[in-house]
């Protein structure tokens, strides 16, 4: 019997056993963030007390639940709202005991024993509860930030968003954030970035067809401030069966709600450049960067009093928060590399390597070095392309000498999508009688677009995204009895965006490229060197998208003796509706045309390519069907049992089955590459375009084998000490990188592209793909049509199998619905200490398979093919009949723009693409870690959280689920499938050590305090002070090194190895000064001349063991609380971020998905950024945020 069939049968048996216990409770349709409270009632001698009456009361709501201890003295309250409770216990012959101050957090399994004393029941003994902070019930690894702490710790208003509570998740063990401290880049216990899950008020925050949830959603797209939520928890490993659809962690948040009395606040958090430090690295005398930011608002919560409706047992409550955010400026100014004034005039005598040697540029007409009036490396002015000349004229004057990092933008450019938002949160809770509790959450945001640009607007690459979003939740808690409860959740979210280009708003009258789809409202996009001019999205209204998700969860639980049974169902429907009109003005790339591939050393300059208007590649989109409607479905069924076998031993076990279908287009407007389909336009070769229909709406085969067992053991081997172990299998989502839902409209729309076929004569000069201006002499000399962009002969829709011949079709592998699968395990020892503190030490590990990857492109050369070996030196040369390689099919060489010798030997020569699977998922990862934690719950004005993680992540998968299969120079897709073993390396954002510490300390001065215990004026001055620091340190992430200039490999990217015994650093990476020269030593790596040998790809690792700078950060908040009246408090605080004004070098400007791109790691030494030099990206300086709050 197969493993999958055995697992399926086991799941069915467990389901039937649990169903037999649950059937009388009318199981309905499963994901609750509620808490559980259990314990044992005993007398003073330790004997269990059966039949004791327990009444649990919510302090804020005054709602109650009752239970009667069983024969073993046990009691269990399930599905409790997080909050503070009191517990009354009564039994004839014993004094009534009332325990107060029971704090229950999200997803907590709290343990609280009760000891009754003999005496009359009319006597009541009130004690402060000693609820255990240790988890006795399961093997879940989790941590969180409680309400009082959440509001006390410093959280910055930054990156175009209001304060985000999710930022504090980085304080927990197992959470790493690449080379910086931004929670956006978080990885949880080795899981992939963007691969986690976020849950708000019981339902997923998965963003429709974008295949993203987790930190992306709850930190950036739907941020929740401390004024919106009551608590944040991160469930990191071996969690219960109710959680799924991720191989990583679960970020769970609960919105605030009202109580029996009115509470509220008004607040304003302000940032101003007058309080900021000056950006590191700027010349002396540079003024502070203009930075004005505000996060303000007000909230109120309390009872709803409607005569005849909300009286007696029917009690309703509300909470409302309004939070506007505004941004003008920012803390840092971009430092860019732009062409020098000499280069804009055709003079490239400043095209030097790091040793000061001239890098020659070659005339693509002759293969000889450019010369004008006898001066080498100068292009005569009459050869400048008119279109390029007009765009270059829009560039600003460099602000500093040199060819790199030579332009400091005149103002800050926020690293954000938005420059402002208005957020509204409204929640209603209704306790309807003794058995039903309802809640409705309405969260709405309106966002202002960020069109700020480092360059003049006319040539800006800025993209705006004005829009609005909404999150809606309905929860219904029903108690069938004291032992059986049901929790139902209905969730919906959507985010509307209108993506537009800033340059189309300028209307500067710049020239466009003839032959493109739209020259009226679109401008072209030019990419050369480190620079992009223009942006392809176009004007407003042409790129509108929504991303709705529906979700239904239902969980039913029942207590049967020492068993707590839980079963549930989950259904979700991610969707996407998008109208696209991007790239109608054309995208043009430049590089390699002025190089000479025969010289064996670095040559050429991308700025020179643009100067002469000779592009190495171009693409234009023509639209007939601009809209797509993506649909997807997901289901899950789960059962579980927590069995307290003895007072010391608890077993938690269960099974989950989940499934997520591939995406489809509602009207079957979709096309995809089918490698098994004959292509009549390619001589019958296999590999052609297929088109969706009702019988085959998507290419993948649906995988039904998502059976995920969970097992946990908790053993209390000493008082207040428990050892836990757990194992579980977890399945992720069906990811589609690229934010398009895996959809292609090729055939319906006409997506065209041209590329350079390679070298020409033995002179070594390249053939341009096209030239910008008709009549361009460089294209005419190379035999390339010089009429602007080559417009297709027909723009009508065509569903022909060969419609994408010569292009890069969308490929979705047939087996790609076999979703990511993680095995997680942990061994944890946890002990409760005095002073409401707990300490834990854990070994946490995970092994994941079927992860998003770029390992198996179809259209690659086999290095063992005799024809490949025989033609190694000529593979990149254009094919002709004399090359000795047969033409793949008649007319091939004139039908594709990539007709090289190597192309003719590919498995699918009709496609100018590696045919990498968009949603390929054959990657693997392994993660091991030690995690330590010491936490003291806020008590007597002191809170502490100390975390330490020592970990290692090795993988051949993509580090981020949204990283597409790039080739040659990226982190992924650089290794040939014939050398796949080379892809298994450290993760590109592996962080071996992380230390974090957070404290809240009420200073001991003023009334009722240890020092200066006085009321009146003395207390107003010295009392109410609070100090809350956060410190975080992490080791640097590894570099990856490439050769992108001389590389003649045909099996993959060229990866230089590090020469043993040679220090790769010229400076200490943790004390780097860019003004003293490069960080990295080019002489420690294979020389770039090594890669002039055809077929050689180097001996380096995909990701090296050479690590970049470490990260360290100290933030703190100093707060003064002043009582105005008994109920009204005024709070004034100053929040210091990067308080020590440290700096680190990461490319935060691109939210780098783990790639340390702050330094050039290309050994081919392009002149615009010599090897090892800093590219200008630096962290923000110290910023100070001032806040005022009135609370009642």
Pick from 904, 933, 956: which residue ends a domain?
Answer: 904
Domain co-membership, 42 together with 98? yes
Pick from 257, 276, 301: which residue ends a domain?
Answer: 257
Q: What is residue 106's predicted lDDT score, i.e. its pLDDT?
A: 85
pLDDT in tens, 548-575: 999 999 999 999 989 999 999 999 999 9
Asked whether residue 245 is assigned to any structural domain, the reply reads: yes
Confidence of residue 533 (pLDDT cuts 50, 70, 90): very high
pLDDT in tens, 170-180: 999 999 998 88
pTM (predicted TM-score): 0.89
Domain co-membership, 184 together with 224? yes
Residue 1074 predicted with pLDDT over 90: no
Residue 526 predicted with pLDDT over 50: yes
Domain co-membership, 123 together with 186? no
Lowest mean per-residue pLDDT among 22-36, 495-509, 633-647, 842-856: 22-36
Q: What is residue 874's predicted lDDT score, i.e. its pLDDT?
A: 86
Domain co-membership, 170 together with 252? yes
Q: What is residue 15's predicted lDDT score, i.e. its pLDDT?
A: 44
What is the CA 616 to chain-centroid distance, rounded?
32
Residue 1029 predicted with pLDDT over 70: yes
Q: Where are the alpha helices (DSSP H) in 1031-1181?
A: none
Q: Where are the alpha helices (DSSP H) in 237-295?
A: none
Domain co-membership, 42 together with 122? yes
Confidence of residue 32 (pLDDT cuts 50, 70, 90): low
- What domain count does the chain have? 3
Q: Where are the alpha helices (DSSP H) in 355-409?
A: 386-392
Domain co-membership, 176 together with 247? yes
Confidence of residue 740 (pLDDT cuts 50, 70, 90): confident
> CA 1119 to CA 1185: how far, in whole Å?
12
Confidence of residue 497 (pLDDT cuts 50, 70, 90): very high
Of residues 849 and 966, the one with the higher pLDDT is 849
Looking at every residue in the chain, the average pLDDT score rounds to 90
Asked whether residue 705 is assigned to any structural domain, the reply reads: no
Q: What is residue 1095's predicted lDDT score, i.e. its pLDDT?
A: 82
Please enumerate in sequence order all residues whose Cβ is within 8 A of that of 15, keeping only pairs 6 or more positions apart, or say none. 567, 637, 639, 655
**3-class DSSP state for residue 219?**
helix
Residues in the chain: 1192
> CA 657 to CA 30: how far, in whole Å?
12
Domain co-membership, 166 together with 124? no
Backbone phi and psi for residue 1005, each to the nearest 5 degrees, phi listed first? -130, 145
Strand-pair partners of 1029: 1116
Please enumerate in sequence order all residues whose Cβ is within 8 A of that of 677, keeping only pairs 6 or more positions apart, or say none. 686, 687, 688, 689, 690, 801
pLDDT in tens, 247-300: 999 999 999 999 989 999 999 999 999 999 998 888 888 888 888 999 999 999
* Contact yes or no for 503/457 (Cβ under 8 A): yes
Q: What is residue 226's predicted lDDT score, i.e. its pLDDT?
A: 96
CATH number of the domain to which 194 belongs? 2.170.130.10
Domain co-membership, 117 together with 175? no
pLDDT in tens, 311-331: 766 789 999 999 999 999 888
Confidence of residue 353 (pLDDT cuts 50, 70, 90): confident
Asked whether residue 890 is assigned to any structural domain, the reply reads: yes
Domain co-membership, 38 together with 112? yes
Domain co-membership, 242 together with 182? yes
Q: How much is the average pLDDT of 878-894? A: 92
Asked whether residue 175 is assigned to any structural domain, the reply reads: yes
Please enumerate in sequence order all residues whose Cβ is within 8 A of that of 998, keeping only pairs 6 or more positions apart, or say none. 149, 153, 168, 171, 943, 944, 945, 1028, 1029, 1030, 1031
Asked whether residue 173 is assigned to any structural domain, the reply reads: yes
Backbone phi and psi for residue 504, each to the nearest 5 degrees, phi listed first? -70, -15
Confidence of residue 308 (pLDDT cuts 50, 70, 90): confident
pLDDT in tens, 367-413: 899 999 999 999 999 999 999 999 999 999 999 999 988 999 998 88
Asked whether residue 313 is assigned to any structural domain, the reply reads: no
Strand-pair partners of 629: 577
Range of the domain at 233: 159-257
Q: Which of 637, 657, 633, 655 is nearest to 734 (CA)?
A: 633
Pick from 257, 290, 305: which residue ends a domain?
Answer: 257
Confidence of residue 27 (pLDDT cuts 50, 70, 90): very low
Lowest mean per-residue pLDDT among 199-203, 924-928, 1014-1018: 1014-1018
Neighbours of 255 (CB within 10 A): 22
Residue 524 predicted with pLDDT over 60: yes
Of residues 506 and 1192, the one with the higher pLDDT is 1192
* Contact yes or no for 968/1047 (Cβ under 8 A): yes
Confidence of residue 1147 (pLDDT cuts 50, 70, 90): low
* Contact yes or no for 861/1050 (Cβ under 8 A): yes
Domain co-membership, 197 together with 120? no
Please enumerate in sequence order all residues whose Cβ is within 8 A of that of 428, keeping only pairs 6 or more positions apart, or say none. 304, 316, 317, 318, 438, 439, 440
Asked whether residue 679 is assigned to any structural domain, the reply reads: no
Lowest mean per-residue pLDDT among 81-90, 519-528, 814-823, 1170-1179: 1170-1179
Q: Give the percent of the chain with pLDDT over 70.
A: 94
Residue 51 predicted with pLDDT over 50: yes
Of residues 982 and 506, the one with the higher pLDDT is 982
CATH number of the domain to which 106 belongs? 2.60.40.10
Q: How much is the average pLDDT of 679-698? A: 96
Asked whether residue 220 is assigned to any structural domain, the reply reads: yes
Domain co-membership, 170 together with 117? no
């Amino acid at each position: 019997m197969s493993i999958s069939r055995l697992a399926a049968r086991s799941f069915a048996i467990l389901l039937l056993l649990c169903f037999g216990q649950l059937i009388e409770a009318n199981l309905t349709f499963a994901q609750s963030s509620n808490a559980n409270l259990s314990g044992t009632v005993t007398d003073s001698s330790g004997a269990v007390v059966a039949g004791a009456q327990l009444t649990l009361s919510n302090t804020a709501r005054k709602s109650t639940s009752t239970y009667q201890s069983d024969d073993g003295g046990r009691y269990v309250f399930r599905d409790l709202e997080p909050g503070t409770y009191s517990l009354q216990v009564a039994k004839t012959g014993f004094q009534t005991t009332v325990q107060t101050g029971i704090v229950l957090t999200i997803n907590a399994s709290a343990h609280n024993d009760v000891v009754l004393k003999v005496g009359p029941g009319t006597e009541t003994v009130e004690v402060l509860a000693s609820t255990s902070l240790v988890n006795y019930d399961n093997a879940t690894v989790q941590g969180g930030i409680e309400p009082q702490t959440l509001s006390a710790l410093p959280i910055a208003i930054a990156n175009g968003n209001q304060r985000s509570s999710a930022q504090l998740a980085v304080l927990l063990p197992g959470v790493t954030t690449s080379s910086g401290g931004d929670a956006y880049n978080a990885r949880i216990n080795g899981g992939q970035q963007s691969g986690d899950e976020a849950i708000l008020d019981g339902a997923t925050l998965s963003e429709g067809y974008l295949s993203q949830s987790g930190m992306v959603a709850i930190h950036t797209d739907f941020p929740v401030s401390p004024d919106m939520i009551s608590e944040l928890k991160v469930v990191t490993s071996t969690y219960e069966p109710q959680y799924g659809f991720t191989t990583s962690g679960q970020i769970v948040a609960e919105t605030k709600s009202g109580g029996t009395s009115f509470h509220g606040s008004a607040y304003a958090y302000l940032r101003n450049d007058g309080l900021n430090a000056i950006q590191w690295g700027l010349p002396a005398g540079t003024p502070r960067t203009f930075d004005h930011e505000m996060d303000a608002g007000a909230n109120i919560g309390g009872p709803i009093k409607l005569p005849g409706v909300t009286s007696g047992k029917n009690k309703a409550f509300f909470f409302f928060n309004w939070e506007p955010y505004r941004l003008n400026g920012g803390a840092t100014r971009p430092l860019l590399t732009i062409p020098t004034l000499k280069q804009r005039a055709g003079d490239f005598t400043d095209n030097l390597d790091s040793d000061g040697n001239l890098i020659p540029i070659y005339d693509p007409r002759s293969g000889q070095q450019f010369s004008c009036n006898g001066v080498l490396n100068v292009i005569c002015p009459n050869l400048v392309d008119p279109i390029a000349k007009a765009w270059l004229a829009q560039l600003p004057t460099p602000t500093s000498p040199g060819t790199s990092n030579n332009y400091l933008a005149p103002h800050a450019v926020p690293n954000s999508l938005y420059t402002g938002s208005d957020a509204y949160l409204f929640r209603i809770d209704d306790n309807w009688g003794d058995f039903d509790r309802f809640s409705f959450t309405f969260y709405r945001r309106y966002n202002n677009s960020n069109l700020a640009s480092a360059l003049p607007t006319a040539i800006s690459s800025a993209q705006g995204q004005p829009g609005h979003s909404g999150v809606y939740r309905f929860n219904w808690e029903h108690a069938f009895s004291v032992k059986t409860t049901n929790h139902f959740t209905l969730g919906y979210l959507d985010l509307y965006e209108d993506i537009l280009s800033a340059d189309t708003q300028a209307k500067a009258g710049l020239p466009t490229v003839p032959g493109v789809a739209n020259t009226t409202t679109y401008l072209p996009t030019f990419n050369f060197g480190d620079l992009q001019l223009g942006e392809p999205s176009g004007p407003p209204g042409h790129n509108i998208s929504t991303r709705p998700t529906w979700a239904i969860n239902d969980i039913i639980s029942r207590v049967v003796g020492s068993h707590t049974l839980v079963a549930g169902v989950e259904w979700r429907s991610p969707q996407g509706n998008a109208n696209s009109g991007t790239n109608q003005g054309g995208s043009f790339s430049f590089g390699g045309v002025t190089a000479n591939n025969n010289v064996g050393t670095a040559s050429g300059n991308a700025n020179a390519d643009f100067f002469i208007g000779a592009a190495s590649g171009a693409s234009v989109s023509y639209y007939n069907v601009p809209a797509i409607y993506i649909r997807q479905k997901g289901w899950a069924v789960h059962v579980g049992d927590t069995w307290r076998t003895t007072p010391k031993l608890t077993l938690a076990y269960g099974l989950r089955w989940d499934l997520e279908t591939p995406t489809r287009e509602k009207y079957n407007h979709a096309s995809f590459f089918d490698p098994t389909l004959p292509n009549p336009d390619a001589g019958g070769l296999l590999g052609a375009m297929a088109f969706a229909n009702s019988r085959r709406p998507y290419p993948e085969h649906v995988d039904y084998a998502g059976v995920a067992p969970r097992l946990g053991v908790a053993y209390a081997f000493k008082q207040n000490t428990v050892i836990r172990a757990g194992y579980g299998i977890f399945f992720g989502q069906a990811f589609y990188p690229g934010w398009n839902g895996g959809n292609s409209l090729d055939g319906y729309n006409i997506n065209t592209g041209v590329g350079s076929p390679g070298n020409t004569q033995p002179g070594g000069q390249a053939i341009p793909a096209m030239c910008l201006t008709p009549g361009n002499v460089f294209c005419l000399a190379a035999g390339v049509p010089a009429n602007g962009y080559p417009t297709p002969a027909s723009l009508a829709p065509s569903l022909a199998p060969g419609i994408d011949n010569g292009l890069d079709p969308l490929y979705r592998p047939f087996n790609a619905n076999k979703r990511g699968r993680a095995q997680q395990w942990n061994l944890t020892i946890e002990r409760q200490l005095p002073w409401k503190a707990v300490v834990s030490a854990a070994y946490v590990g995970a092994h994941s398979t079927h992860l998003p990857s770029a390992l198996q492109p179809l259209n690659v050369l086999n290095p063992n093919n005799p024809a490949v070996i025989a033609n190694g030196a000529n593979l990149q040369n254009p094919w002709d009949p004399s090359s000795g390689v047969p033409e793949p099919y008649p007319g091939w060489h004139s039908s594709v723009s990539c007709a090289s010798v190597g192309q003719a030997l590919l498995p699918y020569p009709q496609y100018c693409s590696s045919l990498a699977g968009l949603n390929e998922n054959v990657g693997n990862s392994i993660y091991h870690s030690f995690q330590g934690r010491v936490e003291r719950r806020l008590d007597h004005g002191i809170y502490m959280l100390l975390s330490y993680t020592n970990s290692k992540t090795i993988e051949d998968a993509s580090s981020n689920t949204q990283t597409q299969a790039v080739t040659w120079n990226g982190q992924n897709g650089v290794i040939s499938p014939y050398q796949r073993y080379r892809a298994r390396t450290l993760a590109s954002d592996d962080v071996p050590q992380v230390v974090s510490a957070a404290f809240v300390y009420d200073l001991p001065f003023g009334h009722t305090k240890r020092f200066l215990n006085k009321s009146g004026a003395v207390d107003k001055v010295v009392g109410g002070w609070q100090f809350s620091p956060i410190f975080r340190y992490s080791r640097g992430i590894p570099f990856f090194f490439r050769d992108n200039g001389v590389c003649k490999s045909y099996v993959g990217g060229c990866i230089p190895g590090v020469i043993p015994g040679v220090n790769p650093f010229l400076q200490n990476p943790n004390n780097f000064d860019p003004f003293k020269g490069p960080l990295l030593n080019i002489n420690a790596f294979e020389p770039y001349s090594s890669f002039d040998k055809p077929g050689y790809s180097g001996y380096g690792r995909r990701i090296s063991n050479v690590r970049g700078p470490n990260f360290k950060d100290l933030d703190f908040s100093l707060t003064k609380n002043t009582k105005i009246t008994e109920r009204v408090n005024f709070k004034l605080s100053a929040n210091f971020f990067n308080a020590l004004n440290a700096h680190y070098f990461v490319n935060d400007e691109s939210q780098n998905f783990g790639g340390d791109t702050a330094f050039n790691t290309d050994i081919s030494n392009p002149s615009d950024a010599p090897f090892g030099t800093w590219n200008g990206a630096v962290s923000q300086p110290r910023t100070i945020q001032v806040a005022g709050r009135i609370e009642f």
